[in-house]
Amino acid sequence: GIQVEQSPPDLILQEGANSTLRCNFSDSVNNLQWFHQNPWGQLINLFYIPSGTKQNGRLSATTVATERYSLLYISSSQTTDSGVYFCAVVTGNQFYFGTGTSLTVIP
Amino acid sequence: DTEVTQTPKHLVMGMTNKKSLKCEQHMGHRAMYWYKQKAKKPPELMFVYSYEKLSINESVPSRFSPECPNSSLLNLHLHALQPEDSALYLCASSLGQGSPAQPQHFGDGTRLSIL
Protein backbone atom coordinates (compact mmCIF):
# COMPACT_ATOMS: atom_id res chain seq x y z
CA GLY A 1 0.00 0.00 0.00
CA ILE A 2 0.85 3.66 -0.12
CA GLN A 3 3.35 5.04 2.42
CA VAL A 4 2.52 8.34 4.12
CA GLU A 5 5.34 9.85 6.14
CA GLN A 6 5.16 13.00 8.22
CA SER A 7 7.96 15.14 9.57
CA PRO A 8 9.04 16.09 12.07
CA PRO A 9 7.59 13.39 14.36
CA ASP A 10 7.77 15.71 17.36
CA LEU A 11 7.93 19.48 17.63
CA ILE A 12 8.10 21.83 20.60
CA LEU A 13 7.43 25.52 20.01
CA GLN A 14 7.36 28.65 22.08
CA GLU A 15 4.02 30.41 21.90
CA GLY A 16 4.04 32.88 19.01
CA ALA A 17 6.48 30.92 16.86
CA ASN A 18 5.78 29.70 13.32
CA SER A 19 6.19 26.15 12.03
CA THR A 20 5.92 23.99 8.93
CA LEU A 21 4.77 20.38 8.99
CA ARG A 22 5.41 18.10 6.04
CA CYS A 23 3.53 15.12 4.60
CA ASN A 24 5.18 12.93 1.94
CA PHE A 25 3.34 10.18 0.12
CA SER A 26 4.71 7.43 -2.07
CA ASP A 27 2.12 7.28 -4.84
CA SER A 28 -0.40 9.45 -6.62
CA VAL A 29 -3.50 10.22 -4.58
CA ASN A 30 -7.04 11.33 -5.29
CA ASN A 31 -7.22 13.56 -2.28
CA LEU A 32 -5.57 14.75 0.90
CA GLN A 33 -6.84 16.01 4.25
CA TRP A 34 -5.11 17.57 7.25
CA PHE A 35 -6.47 16.89 10.74
CA HIS A 36 -5.68 18.13 14.23
CA GLN A 37 -6.23 15.64 17.04
CA ASN A 38 -6.49 17.51 20.31
CA PRO A 39 -5.43 16.06 23.68
CA TRP A 40 -9.00 14.79 24.22
CA GLY A 41 -8.83 12.69 21.08
CA GLN A 42 -11.10 14.78 18.88
CA LEU A 43 -10.09 14.73 15.20
CA ILE A 44 -10.78 18.10 13.66
CA ASN A 45 -10.81 18.66 9.90
CA LEU A 46 -8.37 21.43 9.01
CA PHE A 47 -8.10 21.26 5.25
CA TYR A 48 -9.36 19.21 2.33
CA ILE A 49 -6.64 19.97 -0.19
CA PRO A 50 -5.91 17.70 -3.18
CA SER A 51 -3.80 20.44 -4.75
CA GLY A 52 -3.02 24.11 -4.46
CA THR A 53 -3.03 26.35 -1.42
CA LYS A 54 -5.70 27.14 1.15
CA GLN A 55 -5.71 29.42 4.15
CA ASN A 56 -7.84 29.50 7.26
CA GLY A 57 -6.82 32.09 9.81
CA ARG A 58 -3.36 31.30 11.19
CA LEU A 59 -3.23 28.01 9.29
CA SER A 60 -2.50 27.41 5.66
CA ALA A 61 -1.77 24.33 3.58
CA THR A 62 -0.17 23.63 0.24
CA THR A 63 -0.28 20.37 -1.71
CA VAL A 64 1.99 19.71 -4.68
CA ALA A 65 0.45 16.49 -5.96
CA THR A 66 2.94 16.06 -8.82
CA GLU A 67 5.80 16.02 -6.30
CA ARG A 68 3.84 13.97 -3.74
CA TYR A 69 3.95 16.21 -0.72
CA SER A 70 1.84 18.59 1.31
CA LEU A 71 2.81 21.27 3.83
CA LEU A 72 0.87 22.67 6.77
CA TYR A 73 1.92 26.11 8.03
CA ILE A 74 1.05 27.28 11.53
CA SER A 75 1.76 30.93 12.27
CA SER A 76 1.77 32.68 15.65
CA SER A 77 1.25 29.37 17.43
CA GLN A 78 -0.95 29.19 20.53
CA THR A 79 -1.10 26.63 23.34
CA THR A 80 -4.42 25.41 21.94
CA ASP A 81 -2.55 24.30 18.80
CA SER A 82 -0.96 21.49 20.82
CA GLY A 83 -1.88 17.98 19.79
CA VAL A 84 -1.13 15.63 16.92
CA TYR A 85 -1.41 16.68 13.30
CA PHE A 86 -2.23 13.99 10.76
CA CYS A 87 -2.37 14.12 7.02
CA ALA A 88 -4.50 11.48 5.33
CA VAL A 89 -4.56 10.57 1.65
CA VAL A 90 -7.08 8.84 -0.54
CA THR A 91 -6.07 6.49 -3.32
CA GLY A 92 -8.77 4.50 -5.03
CA ASN A 93 -11.25 3.75 -2.26
CA GLN A 94 -8.66 3.60 0.50
CA PHE A 95 -7.98 6.26 3.11
CA TYR A 96 -4.50 6.22 4.67
CA PHE A 97 -3.35 8.23 7.66
CA GLY A 98 0.19 9.53 7.93
CA THR A 99 2.48 8.84 10.87
CA GLY A 100 1.60 12.13 12.60
CA THR A 101 3.45 15.12 14.05
CA SER A 102 3.08 15.69 17.79
CA LEU A 103 3.15 19.44 18.50
CA THR A 104 3.58 20.97 21.93
CA VAL A 105 3.27 24.75 22.26
CA ILE A 106 4.63 26.09 25.51
CA PRO A 107 3.64 29.49 26.97
CA ASP B 1 -19.81 20.65 17.92
CA THR B 2 -19.08 17.64 15.77
CA GLU B 3 -21.73 16.64 13.19
CA VAL B 4 -21.00 12.95 13.80
CA THR B 5 -22.23 11.81 17.20
CA GLN B 6 -20.77 8.79 18.98
CA THR B 7 -22.08 7.15 22.13
CA PRO B 8 -20.99 6.30 24.70
CA LYS B 9 -17.94 8.53 25.17
CA HIS B 10 -16.35 6.04 27.54
CA LEU B 11 -16.95 2.32 28.01
CA VAL B 12 -15.40 -0.15 30.42
CA MET B 13 -16.29 -3.79 29.92
CA GLY B 14 -15.17 -7.25 30.90
CA MET B 15 -13.95 -9.81 28.43
CA THR B 16 -17.19 -11.77 28.61
CA ASN B 17 -19.53 -8.81 28.15
CA LYS B 18 -21.50 -7.82 25.06
CA LYS B 19 -21.82 -4.13 24.30
CA SER B 20 -22.40 -1.85 21.32
CA LEU B 21 -20.95 1.42 20.11
CA LYS B 22 -23.24 3.78 18.26
CA CYS B 23 -22.57 6.41 15.61
CA GLU B 24 -25.09 8.80 14.07
CA GLN B 25 -24.89 11.48 11.38
CA HIS B 26 -27.57 13.62 9.76
CA MET B 27 -25.54 15.17 6.96
CA GLY B 28 -26.97 12.92 4.25
CA HIS B 29 -23.66 11.09 3.95
CA ARG B 30 -23.82 7.63 2.38
CA ALA B 31 -20.42 6.29 3.46
CA MET B 32 -19.61 5.51 7.09
CA TYR B 33 -16.44 4.19 8.67
CA TRP B 34 -15.11 2.62 11.85
CA TYR B 35 -11.50 3.22 12.91
CA LYS B 36 -9.46 1.94 15.85
CA GLN B 37 -6.74 4.13 17.33
CA LYS B 38 -4.15 3.04 19.87
CA ALA B 39 -2.23 5.61 21.89
CA LYS B 40 0.38 7.58 19.94
CA LYS B 41 -0.59 5.86 16.66
CA PRO B 42 -2.65 6.98 13.67
CA PRO B 43 -6.19 5.66 13.29
CA GLU B 44 -6.50 2.30 11.53
CA LEU B 45 -9.43 1.59 9.27
CA MET B 46 -11.65 -1.31 10.38
CA PHE B 47 -14.84 -1.21 8.28
CA VAL B 48 -16.44 0.85 5.53
CA TYR B 49 -20.14 0.93 4.72
CA SER B 50 -21.19 2.41 1.42
CA TYR B 51 -24.90 2.92 0.80
CA GLU B 52 -25.63 0.75 3.86
CA LYS B 53 -23.65 -2.20 2.52
CA LEU B 54 -20.36 -3.41 3.96
CA SER B 55 -17.76 -2.63 1.33
CA ILE B 56 -14.47 -2.97 3.21
CA ASN B 57 -13.53 -5.22 6.14
CA GLU B 58 -9.85 -4.83 6.96
CA SER B 59 -9.45 -8.38 8.30
CA VAL B 60 -11.01 -7.42 11.61
CA PRO B 61 -11.57 -10.27 14.13
CA SER B 62 -15.14 -11.54 14.33
CA ARG B 63 -15.49 -10.35 17.92
CA PHE B 64 -16.16 -6.96 16.26
CA SER B 65 -19.43 -6.99 14.31
CA PRO B 66 -20.55 -3.88 12.41
CA GLU B 67 -24.13 -3.06 11.51
CA CYS B 68 -25.66 -0.27 9.44
CA PRO B 69 -29.42 -0.24 10.11
CA ASN B 70 -30.00 2.85 7.95
CA SER B 71 -28.08 5.58 6.18
CA SER B 72 -27.73 7.67 9.36
CA LEU B 73 -26.73 5.01 11.85
CA LEU B 74 -23.69 2.79 12.29
CA ASN B 75 -23.21 0.35 15.14
CA LEU B 76 -20.25 -1.71 16.27
CA HIS B 77 -21.21 -4.75 18.33
CA LEU B 78 -18.56 -6.03 20.71
CA HIS B 79 -18.32 -9.51 22.18
CA ALA B 80 -15.57 -11.44 23.98
CA LEU B 81 -13.02 -8.68 23.53
CA GLN B 82 -9.40 -8.94 24.62
CA PRO B 83 -7.37 -6.44 26.67
CA GLU B 84 -5.45 -5.45 23.53
CA ASP B 85 -8.75 -4.20 22.06
CA SER B 86 -8.65 -1.28 24.48
CA ALA B 87 -8.41 1.81 22.27
CA LEU B 88 -10.20 4.89 20.98
CA TYR B 89 -12.85 3.88 18.43
CA LEU B 90 -13.65 6.57 15.90
CA CYS B 91 -16.57 6.79 13.52
CA ALA B 92 -16.48 8.91 10.38
CA SER B 93 -18.76 9.69 7.47
CA SER B 94 -18.37 11.11 4.00
CA LEU B 95 -20.67 12.08 1.18
CA GLY B 96 -20.04 8.87 -0.74
CA GLN B 97 -17.31 6.44 -1.47
CA GLY B 98 -15.53 6.58 -4.76
CA SER B 99 -13.16 8.68 -6.77
CA PRO B 100 -12.64 11.55 -6.23
CA ALA B 101 -13.22 10.83 -2.57
CA GLN B 102 -15.04 13.27 -0.40
CA PRO B 103 -13.66 14.56 2.90
CA GLN B 104 -14.31 12.49 5.99
CA HIS B 105 -15.89 13.96 9.10
CA PHE B 106 -15.07 12.30 12.42
CA GLY B 107 -16.97 11.85 15.65
CA ASP B 108 -15.36 12.45 19.04
CA GLY B 109 -14.77 8.73 19.58
CA THR B 110 -15.50 6.15 22.25
CA ARG B 111 -12.69 5.30 24.67
CA LEU B 112 -12.96 1.59 25.31
CA SER B 113 -11.22 -0.20 28.15
CA ILE B 114 -11.30 -3.99 28.47
CA LEU B 115 -10.71 -5.38 31.93
pLDDT in tens, B50-99: 899 998 888 899 999 999 999 899 999 999 999 999 999 999 998 876 44
Q: A30: which chain B residues are within 8 Å (Cβ-Cβ)?
A: 99-101
Which pLDDT score, from 0 to 100, does residue B98 have? 47
pLDDT computed for residue B65 by the predictor: 96
Give the pLDDT band (50/70/90) at residue B49.
very high
Residue B100, pLDDT score: 45
Q: Which residues of chain A have pLDDT under 50?
A: none
> What pLDDT sits at residue A93?
67
Contact A100 B42 (CB under 8 A): yes
Q: How far is B34 from chain A (nearest CA, A)?
A: 12
Nearest residue of B to residue A98, measured between CA atoms: B42
User: Which helix (H) or strand (E) segment is A42 a member of?
Assistant: none
Q: How far is A47 from chain B (nearest CA, A)?
A: 9
So what's the pLDDT on residue A7?
98
Contact B101, A90 (CB under 8 A): yes
- Give me the phi and psi of A42, to 5 degrees please: -70, 130
- Which residues share a beta bridge with B6? B23
Do residues A49 and A100 lie in contact, with contact meaning Cβ atoms separated by under 8 Å?
A: no
Q: Classify A81 as helix, strand or coil.
A: helix
CA A60 from centroid of its chain's CA atoms: 10
Q: Which of A93, A96, A102 to mutate to test the interface with B (most CBs of B within 10 A)?
A: A93
Query: Do residue B97 and residue A42 have CB atoms under 8 angstroms apart?
Result: no
pLDDT for res B101: 61
Nearest chain B residue to A87, by CA: B42
The whole-angstrom separation of Cα B20 and Cα B64 is 10
Beta strand pairing status for A101-106 and A10-14?
parallel
The residues, any chain, with a CB within 8 Å of residue B62's CB and separated by 6 or more, are none
Q: From chain A, pick out residues whose CB is under 8 angstroms from the CB of B30.
A: none
